[in-house]
Structure 1
Amino acid sequence: MKFNGFTEEDFNVFSIDGLDARMEAIVERVRPKLDLLGQHFAPSLAVMTGDEFHYHVAKHARRSVNPPNDTWVAFASDKRGYKKHPHFQIGLWGTHLFIWFAMIYEAPGKAAFGRKIEQHIDEIPEMIPEGFVWSGDHMKPGATPYGSMSKDDLLTLAKRVQTVKKAELLCGLHLDRDTVTKMSGEELMDRITDAFETLLPLYKMS
């Protein structure tokens, strides 16, 4: 099976009411595409980083009432899970596709990563383009474009991840749904590859 990109129907699954109906659409429409991206990018990331990578497609297994508002495939060096590790993600909200490098709240190394960001704060603009975005919470769809952030804004995120248990630090790229649905599968995979290559210095820092 070939990855042919994402369609309007894929993004529309998040407007389906009810847990069962929405999960059925995610499993039928979106999950096979995330699996294809997982199969493609786990070996690609291994080549880029020199570390072994495994992919984990979101199962949303703990949900019993509220349907998921986003879904994703995550990549980490541990085949049992990704949440405790520095990891990459590709996923969808109803409004956009996201490509992240992430240190989320379960990761024991997140405070050390925050300190590294602080230490290298003057080098970050050379690594990360202004069109990329930063976030302190993977549960929220919004993120702040780096071009609109001051050095102090990024330092605040870096300090917070060191001291607040639930704080997180994510950097990546958001592509709005109109852009994504006009791209071929190949174009989108090239864009994701470019984003992962841009985010590599952060992974190495972690």
Structure 2
Amino acid sequence: MNIASFTEQDFQVFNIEGLDARMEQLKQTVRPKLEALGAYFTPTLSAITGEEMFYHVAKHARRTINPPNDTWVAFSSNKRGYKKFPHFQIGLWETHLFIWVAIINECPIKDEIGKKLEKKINPIIENIPSHYVWSNDHTKPNASILNKHELQSLFRRMQVVKKAEMLCGLHIPKNQAIEMSPETLIKTIEDVFIHLLPIYKIV
């Protein structure tokens, strides 16, 4: 097993000034760990979803001025990309590790997905752990625990707002994440993916 724990240095990458300097450090420290997680969890996700899955490590290739404030590895059933499809993510902001299932703004069928999620809102509430958080914007670090009414609003927003997004999963504060052994990290990610599977199956 070549999985390594995340360290304080990994999270501090996002404090480095300048695009080139931050990207260089990301490539050296964080990206190899995301590549390893991608290779490790692709077979797991293929098995539990029943689809062949592929991993995609964020390259941030379109950036020319502003350095990235987060980075991730995404898993989707499409070999060429993930942004247009429901996908899983493991990634870092300066403050926390995140493990998500995500539908982001490039997905062309968000309205259909929103309708499916709204119809299944009761099973979702029953199956998703109550401490998991939700977000409507993958470009911001914040996420919240939502009640049924708030979830319904999120799902309805997907049906009418072109740039609507939906992300659900677990945030692990930096101080907790850096204390995780590789074995604990793997077990935690596996547990989150299994708990998020009902959402992925719906969409």
Q: Shorter-chain TM-score category?
A: over 0.9
> Which position in structure 2 is the counterpart of 1:179?
176
Report percent identity of matched pairs. Answer: 58
> Which position in structure 1 is the counterpart of 2:78?
78
Greater Cα offset, 101-110 or 75-84: 101-110
- Residue 12 of structure 2 aligns to a residue whose secondary structure is helix
- Residue 167 of structure 1 aligns to a residue whose secondary structure is coil
Q: Normalised by the size of structure 2, how large is the TM-score?
A: 0.98
Greater Cα offset, 39-48 or 117-126: 117-126
> Which position in structure 2 is the counterpart of 1:197?
194
- Residue 173 of structure 1 aligns to a residue whose secondary structure is strand
Unaligned runs of 5+ in 2: none
> Which position in structure 1 is the counterpart of 2:115?
115
Spell out the pairing of 1:12-23 with structure 2 (5 A cutoff). Answer: 12-23=12-23
Deviation of 1:168 after TM superposition, in Å, equals: 0.3
Q: Is the 8 A contact 2:5 2:180 kept in 1?
A: yes
Spell out the pairing of 1:38-187 with structure 2 (5 A cutoff). Answer: 38-145=38-145, 149-187=146-184
- Residue 74 of structure 1 aligns to a residue whose secondary structure is strand
* RMSD between aligned residues: 0.9
Provide the C-alpha distance between the structure 2 equivalents of 1:87 and 1:4, rounded to a whole number of angstroms.
Answer: 23
Deviation of 1:82 after TM superposition, in Å, equals: 0.2
Supply the AA of the counterpart residue of 1:38. G
Provide the C-alpha distance between the structure 1 equivalents of 2:91 and 2:158, rounded to a whole number of angstroms.
Answer: 23
- Residue 200 of structure 1 aligns to a residue whose secondary structure is helix
4+ residue runs over 6 A deviation = none
Provide the C-alpha distance between the structure 1 equivalents of 2:147 and 2:98, rounded to a whole number of angstroms.
Answer: 22
Give a deviation string over 1:85-129, Cα, whole Å, max 9, x none. 110000000000000100111112221111111111122221101
**2:36 aligned with 1:36, yes or no?**
yes
Provide the C-alpha distance between the structure 2 equivalents of 1:138 and 1:144, rounded to a whole number of angstroms.
Answer: 13
Provide the C-alpha distance between the structure 2 equivalents of 1:106 and 1:4, rounded to a whole number of angstroms.
Answer: 31
Deviation of 1:197 after TM superposition, in Å, equals: 0.1
Provide the C-alpha distance between the structure 2 equivalents of 1:167 and 1:2, rounded to a whole number of angstroms.
Answer: 37
Supply the AA of the counterpart residue of 2:35. D
Provide the C-alpha distance between the structure 1 equivalents of 2:168 and 2:113, rounded to a whole number of angstroms.
Answer: 12
Provide the C-alpha distance between the structure 2 equivalents of 1:38 and 1:129, rounded to a whole number of angstroms.
Answer: 24
Deviation of 1:41 after TM superposition, in Å, equals: 0.6
Q: Is the 8 A contact 1:4 1:186 kept in 2?
A: no
Provide the C-alpha distance between the structure 2 equivalents of 1:109 and 1:175, rounded to a whole number of angstroms.
Answer: 30
Provide the C-alpha distance between the structure 2 equivalents of 1:74 and 1:150, rounded to a whole number of angstroms.
Answer: 27
Supply the AA of the counterpart residue of 1:152. H
Supply the AA of the counterpart residue of 2:98. F
Deviation of 1:137 after TM superposition, in Å, equals: 0.5
What is the aligned length? Answer: 203
